[in-house]
Structure 1
């Protein structure tokens, strides 16, 4: 009679015990906030880059929407330095595209980050000067800065 209850007991134990084994470690509110800010910031940068690239690929040129997108990127790029505090990588067991190399190679990551800040600043300046030709020529340079960081510091399987 007791053997008949064993499978039910094992099933119930699995329902309650296995999820506990998969629990995410606790993280500080500051790290959680940094991860959320990082995610939201990169979403805005990505959306802005997409708006710019799609418009230019379709034959469009600099307009107020693209200038706004360029200024969004320029405003957010310097903030990246605060988006990667220690303890905000894969060790959190939360979804992140940040590779461990960010923290293992901080000087190299800082150089890539500063390249983004520089190229974003140039793009925004050209947009604000209403220099359509210069703006169009600068977009690939900003793209190279993004790619330079993505190649080494972004987990491609994240998205």
Structure 2
């Protein structure tokens, strides 16, 4: 299964890289920030319903949020880190550290781990088991944090 995930991630990145070559660096930064913001909003919805206020748990809303997270994780966001996006471009600011562009093997490892956890979150959310979703939400969040800790500048 792991080999399939790596091959799929490589294929998605390769196809998406061709498309991103057509985009200006500031547009790549704008779109990746939008994707991460949308995932964050949906992570917040799951957190609110499984951790902050479990009595508000709505399995359909949680599944919808988990589906968005998995879809975004699988969308080829890596292609939005093209040439010129290692620094601010146009009116778009970036918080990515230069190491992101220098440590591609580590980036790939973290990206594959995030996609795996996001896909598992969607799968677990489909069961409607709030406790299991909470556990998988934590694993998905940790995979986000691993990349942030290593490759994102503080504001």
**TM-score, with normalisation over the residues of structure 1?**
0.74
Unaligned runs of 5+ in 2: 1-21
Question: In 1, Cα distance between the equivalents of 2:97 and 2:141?
Answer: 20
* Larger relative contact order (CA 8 Å, sep ≥ 6): 2
Aligned residues: 130
The equivalent of 1:5 in structure 2 is none
Q: Deviations over 1:13-39 (max 9, x none)?
A: xxxxxxxxxxxxxxx843232212101
The equivalent of 1:73 in structure 2 is 69
Question: In 2, Cα distance between the equivalents of 1:29 and 1:148?
Answer: 28
The equivalent of 2:19 in structure 1 is none
**TM-score, with normalisation over the residues of structure 2?**
0.76
Question: In 2, Cα distance between the equivalents of 1:51 and 1:130?
Answer: 15
Q: Deviations over 1:88-123 (max 9, x none)?
A: 121537411211111011110111111110000000
Shift of 1:63: 1.5
Decide whether the 8 Å contact of 1:35 with 1:84 is kept in 2: yes
Q: Deviations over 1:105-146 (max 9, x none)?
A: 111011111111000000001112333332121011001101
Specify which of 53, 56, 63 is matched with residue 58 of structure 1: 53
Q: Deviations over 1:23-70 (max 9, x none)?
A: xxxxx8432322121011011011011111122221243511111111
Cα RMSD after superposing both structures: 1.8
Which aligned segments of 4 or more residues in structure 1 are displaced greater than 4 angstroms?
none
Question: In 1, Cα distance between the equivalents of 2:41 and 2:70?
Answer: 13
For 1:69-148, list aligned pairs within 5 A: 69-78=65-74, 79-90=76-87, 92=89, 94-148=92-146
Specify which of 35, 39, 44 is matched with residue 29 of structure 2: 35
Question: In 2, Cα distance between the equivalents of 1:32 and 1:120?
Answer: 27
Question: In 2, Cα distance between the equivalents of 1:130 and 1:151?
Answer: 31
Q: Deviations over 1:68-94 (max 9, x none)?
A: 111101001122221211211215374
For 1:10-21, list aligned pairs within 5 A: none
